[in-house]
Structure 1
Amino acid sequence: MGLRGILLRYAARRPRPLVVAVPGFTGVRLAAEAELRRRGWRPALSPAEADLLVVCGVPGHDLSQAVETVWDEMPNPRARADLADVIGVPSALDDASARLADEPAQLRDAAARTSFTPQAPTGHGETDHGDMDHGHMGHGDMGHGGMGHGDMAGHEGHGGGHEHHMMGDPYGLAMADRAPDRDGLKLDVLHVPFGPVLADWPAGLRLTFTLQGDVVQDVESETLGGGAVGERFWDETHETHEPHEPQETNAAAARLDSLARLLAVAGWTGQAARARILRDEVLAGRVEPRRLHKFTRRTRRSRTLRWMLADVNLGETNAWTRVCEWLAEIDGEPRSHVPSAPLEELLVGVDVAAARLVVAALDPDAEGAVAAHA
């Protein structure tokens, strides 16, 4: 075995999985997260650092296309685990880990991947790159000394009568537009999609931000569904070994699940991991109330978290107040929920970093949105 095979086997023991949540398959996602935690596989935050794509559920057509796009962006070596049900989670992850260590399979996969090819320029500004060999267009022959502005008199612009945009979009990517901002200045406008394949992100949610700098000027949202629509997971009855009402059990587990995403986005990864462990123990009915109370007390006492979330606007409330509501539900206190404004309205005018916190604190109901449109 060569050095490459040894490195592949080493990497396959501790892969970095990127988890894709599919609406309607919350149970599969929870089972996958629990199994990844049991194996000590630390989740990746982006496709660039992932070598294992874990798809929790059966995505629909649009979501499947988004998953394929992310899969194409992942570097080699890579493997993929498609989890259709809870029972097949361990075996699917075992198979994916084995594929990561399979040197011939990884070499075939790398050879089969097509490289990115720039799109040919279109319109009346088409240019034949064969006649414009870059080897004969070095900066030495086209320096400002030989092609000064004085020598270009009579030509329109810098391109000898050709506008810059006639050369086509660079590498097929859309250029930024220009639009006035709130101060009346002309700034670049970019249309940037967020989701649906994003760590600690609501299942299936895709937001398209119109950005000027890092400030959101407009938002378009949609929820991409799964290939099957079942019962909403948090509305189901889960068997427990404690004399709790199913509604109370589901409410506490659901709030721990939401809180785990928000804490992870806020950067408190250790407390987010504790929230997920407690969530699974609540669903299994073997959590100790003392541990739940210790978790909620520690979260409430975090001055850093309060400072970070107090200014995150949710309409009639803020993100810190929402966290306190969730903690109260986890402790079994009566629910006091203050309604928030629509997601699109809340995101306009905030920067991208705050937008992630707004989405996590608002916690959109992806399964409910998909069921409503089914």
Structure 2
Amino acid sequence: MDTPAAADLLLVCGVPAPEDGEWLDGIEWSMPEPALRIVAGESGRIAGALDMARRDLIDRTVTWHRADVADEPGAHEHGDHEGHGEGHHHDTHHDSSPPEASDDQGDQGPNRHRMDHGHGGHAAHSGHEGHEHHQPADHGPHKDHMDHAGHDGHMGHMGHEMHTMGQVAGLPMAERGDDRDELRLDQLHVPIGPALSDWPAGLILRLTLQGDVVQDVAVDHLRVPSVHRLPFWDEPWLRAAQGEKVTRDRAARRRCAAHLDSAGRLLAVVGWDDVAARCRRLRDEVLSGAPREGVDGDLRRTVRRVGRSRPLRWSIAGLGELSADRARAVGVTGPALAADGDAYNRLLMWMSEVERGLDGLDDARPLAPDDRTGPRGRLDGPRPPSQALLDVLPELLTGAEFACARIIVASLDPDLDELALASVSGAAHA
């Protein structure tokens, strides 16, 4: 699914923190009816939660069909009250986490603005959260706004945080401002994130647009949990730095998989879905321990295909120019520094490192403890590698066309899990 507007199920893995409720509500509001949100608090409960969700979605689809039939001419000839009662669905929010971990929000979500005929106490049932649905399609302009927000890949309600001249039917209106040519043009404040297909999870960009040109950028993100868990992509190097025995094979596989994951995300944004799917399949094979001879040929063919495509180069060349000197000055390390160029150069650098990484597969020798270079850069610097990538985003996005913003972000692919490195003992300065 490219946007929430194309989905009918929102699956939350893990128990959400109270402060996550607002953006989860925003995503659910962007989903068309019948929509369902479920919380799988533990990994072992996901299969059961999905089965339950499938049954509920089928039931809701039938209920909505009956409501449409009831609204047809002649359907209310036996009384308005009887027909009205038939058309209302009942809101449930299945939580497959243990009862004590349930995040019961009661009437705190979007559902607080509508009357729930005949089901007012359902949210309090054991094993259910207050299931917050947006209004059906015929409930006025706010629903239209949220569908539009979902289609554009951002949460509509976050627009209320922007300073605008006013609102009409919940829509933030444009305001006037000077553009780079000193002309007074309309400005529109557009938030993107934090949940979007092929987007760094948790990242929020608040863009100021004039026409289709980005004039200003504010970078934000959801709270990064301060758990004592090493970032997945950096784990081999951080464990070796802490004195654990880590093989070079494990580090090489993690680096190759990380770059294939990043390349797959960028290629998907550009529209190369088949090659993106191939990168993701190779990523999974490398992580699962497939022998070198099992992935060597397919991986090298994929690298050559990406490097030889002129349409691909034409589509992203010149976007997000970041010279090595500028990258070094702002603390960027890793592939973004070595690429010394634009989004296309960074993609080629990922693919080149994947190909070089094949030499490390099946190498049982121990990883050197002083090797602190993860997939996105140095892990022993004053700040995590992805923090530097986030810091440089505004200058790369300012002046770019709105359609190019996602390509530039994907070409850097910051990992927000790295932002918790400072709170992990021995991580940033192991």
Task: Specify the TM-score bucket, using the shorter chain as the normaliser.
Answer: 0.5 to 0.7
* Residue 270 (structure 2) aligns with: 266
Aligned twin of 1:320 = 344
The residue that corresponds to 1:235 in the other structure is 234
Unaligned stretches of 5+ residues in structure 1: 1-43, 120-164
Amino acid at match of 1:73: S
Q: Given the alignment of the two structures, is residue 302 of structure 1 paired with residue 309 of structure 2, yes or no?
A: yes
Shift of 1:314: 3.4
| Inter-partner Cα distance in structure 2 for 1:373 and 1:216 | 34
Q: Which residue of 29, 35, 49 maps to 1:92? A: 49
Counterparts in 2 of 1:114 and 1:352: CA distance versus 1, 3 Å: closer
The residue number in structure 2 matching 1:72 is: 29
What is the deviation of 1:269?
0.9
Question: Offset at 1:57?
Answer: 4.3
1:109 is aligned to 2:76: no
- Structure 1 residue 191, shift from structure 2 partner: 0.9
Shift of 1:322: 0.7
Secondary structure at the counterpart of residue 236 of structure 1: helix
| Structure 1 residues 298 and 91, CA gap change in structure 2 (3 angstroms) | farther
2:205/2:220 contact within 8 Å kept: yes
Distance in 2, Cα, partners of 1:235 & 1:101: 42
Q: Is the 8 A contact 2:11 2:38 kept in 1?
A: yes
Deviation at 1:206, TM superposition (A): 0.3
Indicate the residue corresponding to 1:218 in structure 2.
216
Q: 1:328 to 1:118 in 2, by over 3 A?
A: closer
Cα 1:50/1:60, change in 2 over 3 Å: same
The structure, 1 or 2, with the larger RCO (C-alpha pairs under 8 Å, 6+ apart) is 1
Residue in structure 1 matched with residue 5 of structure 2 by the alignment: 48
**1:185 is matched with which residue?**
183
Quote the Cα distance in structure 2 between the aligned partners of 1:273 and 1:90.
Answer: 24
Residue 170 of structure 2 is aligned with which of 169, 172, 177? 172
CA distance in 1, matches of 2:282, 2:265: 14
**Partner AA of 2:230 in structure 1:** E
Aligned residues: 281
Q: Give the residue type in structure 2 aligned to 1:233.
A: F
Q: Is residue 314–residue 358 contact of structure 1 (8 Å, CA) maintained in 2?
A: no
State the 1:356 CA deviation: 0.7
Three-state SS of the structure 2 residue aligned to 1:102 is helix
TM-score of the aligned structures, taking structure 1 as reference length? 0.67
Largest Rg, 1 or 2 = 1
Is the contact made by 1:224 and 1:370 (CA closer than 8 Å) also made in structure 2? no
2:410 corresponds, among 360, 365, 370, to 360
Verify the 8 A CA contact 1:203 1:366 in the aligned structure 2. yes
Q: Give SS of 2:400's match.
A: coil
State the AA in 1 paired with 2:310: R
The two structures have a TM-score, normalised by structure 2, of 0.59
Which secondary structure does the structure 1 equivalent of 2:169 belong to? helix
Q: How many percent of aligned residue pairs carry the same amino acid?
A: 42
